[in-house]
Structure 1
Amino acid sequence: MSTATTISVAETIDLLDGPLSSFSAGFQAGLYALWLGSGISRERIVGLDGVLAKLLENLRLRITGADCEHHRAFEKILTLADLSPPEKAQIDFTQPVASWPIHDELINRLWNKYSKVLGTEIQGQPLDYLLWDILDFPTTFAAQKADAEHLAIAMLVLEGVVLDLATANWDGLLEAAMVELGRPNETFRVAVTGGDLHGPPGIGTLYKFHGCANRAIENEADYRPLLVAREAAITHWAQNQRFTQMREQLRALIARSRTLMIGLSGQDTNIQQLFGANGWVWNSVPVPIVFAAQDLSEGQKSILEGAYQGDYEANREQIRADATLPAFGKPLLLALLLSTLCGKLAALTGLLTSPAVGAVGKQSLAEGLKALERSAAQAGNANRYDCARTIAALIGRVSDQFLGGQGSAGRRRYMPLSLQPAHLMQQDPAVMLSGRPEAAAALGLIGRGLAANKWSVAVDDPEQPTSGALRLVAPAAQARVFLAANDENINQLVASGAFDEEDADVVVMCSRKVTPRQQRSPSASWRTGKASPRYVSVSDLLDGSPSFDEIQNRFNSEVGL
């Protein structure tokens, strides 16, 4: 049986479609604010970027003797790890920390005591000496690389289903994710104090209530004192007048939005106190407070007790069960992203007006889209970081091709399916004129073919100009599938080098009518035996078919695999 650690992206989607369907629907409707903790950044801060390991190594390099302050500080930190005598014997201060046999275990034991480590004092130095000087804070946090969680969150923000995020992390990984997606830092409105909210709004508001690394590096005088990293600083945060407005804003956020907490154990008392008496009823649907966890920590249980107060004791077992979502950040956020994208595409097919589609046809298209969603989840589970990057690059590529016929090389700027949740997207009259409902229908028909084993689906490198939306692979042939809003976009795709009029492995799904095309050399097919690209007018297909079964049959025939 899968746990929150081992669960796959596809299994997480099964949870979202099954027992957690009300939560999933609420999330996709924009009802939840994200509360994020160190768990979503662990592989960057501790693993790949090795910030904690860097801290230990830099501290070791400052040691001048057994009686120096840096050696005493290191010994205090080792005490936090509760090492056994045999483990202590593996420590050699004359050698790099990374070479110690105990290195990995040491890092793991100190990870959950990060604030205690950073609270270790050096006589005669500022209280944040370990953080700012030993760790070389300005260099370490100046340019960090986003992970799968941060990319998924950034895309969910751009898709308009997450408007508010509160985080105890001061790293710049969420901002880095936006940059990687081709969006500027200003996409987020970052708030460390209430005064930071006085500026222009962003697509999402990021409440960094323990401080912001980027701001501290850019403006050390004002923002370095606001970095809350040491245990004592966390304890006194609730009384620190510098954060008065931030506390008010966070309490208001808790009162107006449901909470999804990821990578945050809730052990800090300042966070527990914020959730007291917030006005939510414990058995509301969807559930007001959800934790991405296998088992709730004592801190998370304390949050629930404070939030529901008089109702908690009698209903605590059900409250805890309802609040537990057994999937950690990577599988959960990728599953939520795929579910959101699939849900938006299904909502687009709901706007189709062709009599041949009808309610049954729309449900069939939704099932086809779910087949594509599952295929993406299964393919992306092995390397979730690559999965997030591929989703971002693919949507950027397809959006440029669909709307502008762009086929140049390189990563494309992420362009959301819509800036709003699905229920608001459906009310936008411009959507009906955009060709997107027809494009979503084409993807649904492809998904139905996938489910019927007519073909499998793959993705080419989205950074290559000749890659399309998908590659269909059948036993006897393959095809690159391009999506185009109108006939002019097809001309632009050819002009930009996405494909050639003599490419036999191309299928173009055009939302509108397609002008009949002639090969560059009329006799080429006769000489070489090659067919030209197949152009499918989705609107003609939908409006010119007497039934949905006929739509699918004609579609399969025109794809030609």
Structure 2
Amino acid sequence: MFYASGGGGNSIDVVALFSGQSTAAVSSAGEALMAMPPAAVISVRATLAMLDGPKREIADGVANDQYVFWLGSGISRERMPDLRDVAKRVLATLQSRIVAGNPDCRFRKALNAVVVLAQPSPDEWGRTDLDQAPVSWPDYEVLAARLVNNYARMLNVTVDGEQADYLLWNVLNAAHVYADPAIEPDAEHLCLAALAIEGVASEMPTANWDNLIERAVRSLAGTQPVLRVVVAPNDVRWNRLRANLYKFHGCAQSALDNEGQFRDLLVARSSQINGWAAQNPVMAPFLINFIVTRPTLMLGLSAQDSNIQGLFAVAQATMAWPWPSHPPAYAFSENALGADQEGLLQNVYHQDYSPANRPHMEVEALVQAYAKPLLLSLYLYVVTAKLKALIGIGAPGLAPIDRDKLHDGLEQARNLVADGISPNAAIVTELFAQFGRALTMLRNGGLSDPVNGTYSPITTEPLHRMPADMTLSGSGVCQFAIASGLIGLGLARGLWTAAKADLADRTSGAVVLNGRSGPAKIYFAASAQAAIRLGTNGLIADNDDAVIIHSHENPPPMPRYPRRAPGRTGLANIREVSMEALMGGGTEVEDLLARFRNQVAL
């Protein structure tokens, strides 16, 4: 709805901060967390270290689609007006509409009521002239700041002769502001969209009016039916999709498109918030069911609104969560737990909440990273976890020591990516475009397109359902995971370095590896058809210095495809590697890496 907090920056090694439930362990963990960078500046790499270490259960819970993502204004704070700006606009607009010389002016009356909510002292009142523009008031900034914590009461102020939502609809012009088509999704929305496409963010209740998540999903998934948006009670009857967004405080775009049906669903006024549960007999029980049955991850949500607190209070009365629970039943993306989050823990764990348990609960629930670095790190964690699972599906006979080496290779590659990125929209957009390019080449031998989406998931299922997907073992994606693990091992051992593909150059491959023999463009092909299409689509030519890593056997030689002018002449420089053949020659990883290295000739 309205907007306030967030993060990205420095790094720290927190891989093994703490484990166990002893008092000494929790005390040590609390001290370690206090020593971490603030949530607003923690780096992606340091956040990943948290997910690998003390917050591993939460990360695995996300990878298994166990968590419900409760989303608040913090995820859109850099795209939408914050509460102080909202307060200033209310003050300035009401003052500008005062009829000079009319002491009974309805706008003067409303402005006076708003100023009263800022609780000015007698001296401040003496310096506040309602006949002058608020920007000239000596205490303008102070009064606006005080209204931040009173925003719902401020918006509940009425103007004589106007609808109850006059301040929201006519003064703030909220529907147009929050549905402005010129506003692009931020990193948080893009990461949520990618997690949704990967099938691990299936339930997302949100108090926000903007449609930035919807735009992010469209930018990554194109016209594919990935996201269901629920605003009105009847919407809950629609078929569920891979991801489901519940806009329980209304939707600005819906209000613009159909004012008669959706204007009254925009929740902001204190009277609406206080009466929300009684006025929403469909949505309220629907959300309570999430709280009762699935763990909660709060992102950018302060939980200060009484209707949200009421939902959690009813849920604990229905069926409280035991503590400890695995994964943790509550997690908050915050720098520190506030009074409202602590109150939620007290409510939902009430049977086990005690002075002895309280420090454990609070340390467990706090994820000290704001949504930007946390969501990007969760994405990297989930994708890596899926690739690890695919190695097991594609090579079930791997010895544990060999499996672990390939897993280490994947983590090495993941960490190098994390070291080179920060959670801003441009970088995240490029990351997902790079990933989508590689996976689209792998599966189809082509490039991503806006209609079908620029992003292609590893799988559309969460981690725990992947073993039941009988299509994975023959899809070529398992061999892609093994090859990625080998490439990561080579990176860790200094056998080669990696550079990203040039997205502006359709012929630059999926990734570029630099070895002793120089750079080579790397392509992946899940099938013979995909490999053929790399040529027919003009993505690779016979004279390229390139490597095609086939998931299955190498296809027979095909006619040459001189789709573009040769960069040089002479013998073909394309090397083709069959992962199926390599694995058939033995799965001991050191030997496998040596044979892989020999065939890619880097």
Aligned match of 2:581 in 540, 543, 551? 540
Residue 75 (structure 1) shift: 6.6
Instruction: Report the counterpart of residue 260 of structure 2 in structure 1.
Output: 221
Closer/same/farther in 2, CA of residues 159 and 111 from structure 1, 3 Å limit: farther
Aligned match of 2:431 in 377, 381, 391? 391
Aligned equivalents of 1:64, 1:530: Cα separation in 2: 85
Alignment of 1:15-414 (within 5 A): 15-46=50-81, 62=97, 65=100, 69-70=106-107, 113-142=150-179, 143=181, 144-184=183-223, 187-240=226-279, 243-276=280-313, 277=316, 278-314=319-355, 315-353=357-395, 357-381=398-422, 383-407=423-447, 412-414=453-455
Unaligned runs of 5+ in 1: none
Aligned equivalents of 1:384, 1:13: Cα separation in 2: 16
Contact 1:403-1:485 within 8 A present in 2 as well: yes
TM-score, with structure 2 as normaliser: 0.82
Residue 81 (structure 1) shift: 6.6
Aligned equivalents of 1:226, 1:298: Cα separation in 2: 28
Instruction: Report the counterpart of residue 521 of structure 2 in structure 1.
Output: 480
Residue 54 (structure 1) shift: 6.6
Instruction: Report the counterpart of residue 23 of structure 2 in structure 1.
Output: none
Aligned equivalents of 1:13, 1:509: Cα separation in 2: 29
Aligned equivalents of 1:89, 1:183: Cα separation in 2: 55
* 1:217-265 CA-partner distances (Å, limit 9, x unpaired): 222112111111122211221332xx01111111111111111111111
Which moved further from structure 2: 139-148 or 358-367? 139-148
Residue 119 (structure 1) shift: 3.1
Read off the aligned partner of 2:375 and give its amino acid letter: L
* 1:7-49 CA-partner distances (Å, limit 9, x unpaired): 11111111111011122112211111111111111111127xx
Number of corresponding residues:
552
Aligned equivalents of 2:368, 2:37: Cα separation in 1: 9
Closer/same/farther in 2, CA of residues 134 and 369 from structure 1, 3 Å limit: same
Secondary structure in structure 2 of the residue aligned to 1:482: strand
RMSD value, Cα: 3.5
Residue 396 (structure 1) shift: 2.3
Aligned equivalents of 2:139, 2:495: Cα separation in 1: 53
Aligned equivalents of 2:385, 2:270: Cα separation in 1: 42
Unaligned runs of 5+ in 2: 1-35
Closer/same/farther in 2, CA of residues 124 and 494 from structure 1, 3 Å limit: same
Aligned equivalents of 2:406, 2:480: Cα separation in 1: 11
Aligned equivalents of 2:491, 2:548: Cα separation in 1: 18
* 1:106-165 CA-partner distances (Å, limit 9, x unpaired): 887665554344334333322211221223334323324211111111211221112211
Contact 2:436-2:448 within 8 A present in 1 as well: no
Aligned equivalents of 1:536, 1:339: Cα separation in 2: 28
Aligned equivalents of 1:354, 1:185: Cα separation in 2: 33
Aligned equivalents of 2:194, 2:478: Cα separation in 1: 21
Secondary structure in structure 2 of the residue aligned to 1:351: helix
Aligned equivalents of 2:117, 2:573: Cα separation in 1: 69
Instruction: Report the counterpart of residue 493 of structure 1 in structure 2.
Output: 534
Residue 342 (structure 1) shift: 0.6
Read off the aligned partner of 1:221 and give its amino acid letter: G
Which moved further from structure 2: 332-341 or 58-67? 58-67
Read off the aligned partner of 2:431 and give its amino acid letter: I
Instruction: Report the counterpart of residue 38 of structure 2 in structure 1.
Output: 3
Percent identical pairs in the alignment equals 35
Instruction: Report the counterpart of residue 26 of structure 2 in structure 1.
Output: none
Aligned equivalents of 1:485, 1:104: Cα separation in 2: 60
Closer/same/farther in 2, CA of residues 407 and 249 from structure 1, 3 Å limit: closer
Contact 2:100-2:131 within 8 A present in 1 as well: no
TM-score, with structure 1 as normaliser: 0.88
Instruction: Report the counterpart of residue 549 of structure 2 in structure 1.
Output: 509
* 1:423-479 CA-partner distances (Å, limit 9, x unpaired): 211221110010111011111111111111233323234364224322223476222
Secondary structure in structure 2 of the residue aligned to 1:480: strand
Residue 519 (structure 1) shift: 7.0
* 1:167-205 CA-partner distances (Å, limit 9, x unpaired): 111221211111111344963322234322112222222
Read off the aligned partner of 1:477 and give its amino acid letter: G
Instruction: Report the counterpart of residue 28 of structure 2 in structure 1.
Output: none
Aligned equivalents of 2:528, 2:88: Cα separation in 1: 56
